[in-house]
Structure 1
Amino acid sequence: MNTPTAAAPAAATRPREEDRTAGARGALRETRRRRRTRALAVPAVLLAIAALLALLTLCFGSVRLSLDQVLGSLLGIRENGAVDFIVHDLAGPQVKAALCVGLALGAAGTIFQQLLRNPLASPDFVGISAGASVAAVAGIAVPAFAGASLPALAFVGGVVTAAAMYLLAWRDGITGYRFVLIGIGTAAFCTGVVGYLLTRTSLTEARAALHWLTGSIGQAGDAENDVLLVALIVLLPFVPVLQRMLRSIEMGDDTARGLGVRIEPTRLALIAVGVLLTSLATAVAGPIAFVALVAGPVADRLLGSARGGIVAAGAVGAILCLVADYVAQHLLPVEVPTGVVTGAVGAPYLLWLIATTNRRGMGG
């Protein structure tokens, strides 16, 4: 007599459990949909802002132009010799360099930060930019390198320094903590070498070297700018692959191995991409400080749960470089290198980042 009575509540609870399960699945699908939407929308908006800033920079440079004149010259709709000269030969290369350098540094910075799982692990602090600087200053100070291209020397210096760091950090694999420590030591060593080289130069050579070391967009030629642009275009189709590689590494080595990921080849490929972008950007503009450090965290704040976007970080880097270069050229009483402006903005951010990281118990 009691069996049907006991079974009735159990049967009544099954639909409720199924409803809760279906509701949880629906909420999960909705969360994933929103994350995918945000992962696509945020980079698109940031790239659009960067493109708009580039157009405004051309309009409000040393010579004021209307947006119609700039677009007409860029699209080849209207022919005006004076406007074409300003857009294509005078201001255009500077804006293109700012866009490309910012994209490269922003993407490289977030790759290193995610790969090494450390918000301070940007190319500025792990020695790659410092290695490029040593090679470039050697091109100014050492007679044996006289006549060599500074951007080419900077690129070679960054690549060689990164290879040396990788070999020094290798102990049955690469860990982020060891790589960062070796990078900091390498950066300190390179800074000492640069200081020594500067003492061996004349006043004119030292002034030229210091201008390059501060970081200044627009000091490279068309060939270096075009190489960086081509590298970005070539790497663009591989961004989804790089993004998946970073996601797999972020899960931890054991989990990634369980999913069939080859850890060390994946890590080496990501480091190679980051080094390539950093070296090419440094070859074009010198070591622009703090752009690689700031771009990734800012993009992550905008992306929310879809954090870690390479394109979004690159777009933030492009916006930072465009704004900093415009301020350095047009809004200060005296024209200064771009790195002065990024350093003035980035140094307080670095102090804040170190303080908040230590409060969370992640500072070591």
Structure 2
Amino acid sequence: MPSRPPFRIGPVSLVFRPFMIGVNVALLVALLLLLCINIGRGDYDLSIPEVASVLVGGGTKAQNFIVMDLRLPRSLTGLLIGVALGLSGALTQSIARNSLASPDILGITAGASAGAVALIVLGGGGSFVGLLALLGIPMAALCGGFLTAIVIYLLAWKGGIEGFRLILIGIGINAMLVATVGWLLISADIDDVSRAQVWLNGSLNGASWDQMWPVAIAVVVLGVLVVISTFTVGALRLGDDNAASLGVNTNRAQTRLLLASVALAAVATAAAGPVGFVALAAPQLALRLVRSPGPPMIASALTGAVLVVGSDVVARTLLPVELPVGIVTSAIGGPFLLYLLVRNNRKVSA
């Protein structure tokens, strides 16, 4: 079957794929619908048309206050966290060429958690004032995620990055960091433990515009970098030798894209705590929806956003008690991880 002919827009060469575009449009529509549902549900319910009216500038004064000040920041923060984790997982899985590679499995999320919990427990995270009160825990999470990534990268480097080696080292580092977080919680004051536990469950409760904007800026900047690097990501999926034959500097490209992946995961974790398994599941679900040979970037981002916003709807409205969104995503992602393990084991056996 002949391949589709490319078309050019200036110096850019593109291939028109109607099925992939249709799936992305369907995911975008589903995301907007879930966003309106999530904004509308609460002690004072609003219908989808009422929410849409407020978002385009209409509605009453009370409806504007409920939507714009109370509920929209939470929903947008969840959406952006899902986009960041979806892109992070797609990048990591493409570079490692392994469906099990994700910030959760590799320990990046655990590193961010360890940094934040260490600040809460040892540094008196609740005592900061002004700007430090706003940036203290997020910056600690970012630093923890980046330090963990550097350690994993140095240990995994052996003339390049090999996927299986990267995953094994990441699993080991992840176990050590989980133990560190456990030790910090056991040795801490009960009030600090309560605050840390809320953060560790990945909660969007109390999300504000101040929490949303740093994630939005990071997603826009790094998202543009990922889109520009789409060809490089596709080449890296073919293996180091094939990528080099296509003119890709593999070491430099792997380092740059891994840094982008770590930054996206760390920013998402810093905003609301560890939202588990989204970075693992979103690229694999998107891959199956789009029927592509590797994790598609845009579809992975949209799928991640759908998972987080949809899980927030479930956590807030469909359960007997309101739960942190991270508990719901982990309940979904755990069985999916088992499915991937079984599927990979069957491939190896065959």
1:136-187 CA distances to partner (integer Å, 9 max, x unpaired)? 1011110366535212211111112112211222222222222211111111
The 3 A distance-change label for structure 1 pair 362 and 313 is farther
1:11-69 CA distances to partner (integer Å, 9 max, x unpaired)? xxxxxxxxxxxxx5xx4338999972223222222122111210122223332113333
Letter in 2 for 1:54: L
1:91-118 CA distances to partner (integer Å, 9 max, x unpaired)? 1111011100111111111111111011
Structure 2 match to 1:240: 227
**Largest Rg, 1 or 2:** 1
Contact 1:301 1:307 in 2 (8 A): no
Q: Secondary structure at the match of 2:291?
A: helix
Contact 1:228 1:281 in 2 (8 A): yes
Letter in 2 for 1:129: T
Structure 2 match to 1:212: 199
Post-superposition shift, 1:285?
1.3
**Structure 2 segments unaligned to the other structure (5+ residues):** 8-13
1:141 aligns with 2:121: yes
Aligned length: 337
Q: Which deviates the most, 62-71 or 222-231?
A: 62-71
Contact 2:89 2:261 in 1 (8 A): yes
Post-superposition shift, 1:212?
1.1
Post-superposition shift, 1:238?
3.3
Q: Which deviates the most, 104-113 or 212-221?
A: 212-221
The 3 A distance-change label for structure 1 pair 63 and 345 is same
1:287-334 CA distances to partner (integer Å, 9 max, x unpaired)? 111111110111011111364211101111111111111111121111
1:249-302 CA distances to partner (integer Å, 9 max, x unpaired)? 011111111121100110011101111110000001111111111101110111
Q: Secondary structure at the match of 1:29?
A: coil
Contact 2:205 2:324 in 1 (8 A): no
The 3 A distance-change label for structure 1 pair 362 and 238 is farther
1:115 aligns with 2:95: yes
Letter in 2 for 1:163: I
Q: Secondary structure at the match of 2:292?
A: helix
Post-superposition shift, 1:201?
1.1
Post-superposition shift, 1:218?
3.7
1:301 aligns with 2:288: yes
Structure 2 match to 1:46: 27
Higher helix share: 1
**Aligned partners of 2:99, 2:16: CA distance in 1, in Å?**
22
TM-score (norm 1): 0.87
Q: Secondary structure at the match of 1:125?
A: helix
Q: Which deviates the most, 100-109 or 62-71?
A: 62-71
**Cα RMSD between the aligned structures?**
2.2
Match of 1:339 among 323, 326, 332: 326
Structure 2 match to 1:321: 308
Match of 1:353 among 333, 340, 344: 340
Match of 1:100 among 62, 71, 80: 80
Q: How does 1:29-108 map to 2 (within 5 A)?
A: 29=4, 36-78=17-59, 80-108=60-88
1:179-222 CA distances to partner (integer Å, 9 max, x unpaired)? 21111111111011101111111222212211211111245543
Structure 1 match to 2:243: 256
Contact 1:127 1:183 in 2 (8 A): yes
Contact 2:82 2:304 in 1 (8 A): yes
Q: Which deviates the most, 277-286 or 299-308?
A: 299-308
Q: Secondary structure at the match of 1:76?
A: coil
Letter in 2 for 1:331: L
**Aligned partners of 2:204, 2:164: CA distance in 1, in Å?**
32
Q: Which deviates the most, 271-280 or 210-219?
A: 210-219
Q: Sequence identity, in percent?
A: 38
Q: Secondary structure at the match of 1:361?
A: helix
The 3 A distance-change label for structure 1 pair 232 and 197 is same
TM-score (norm 2): 0.90
**Aligned partners of 2:262, 2:291: CA distance in 1, in Å?**
27
Q: Secondary structure at the match of 2:142?
A: helix
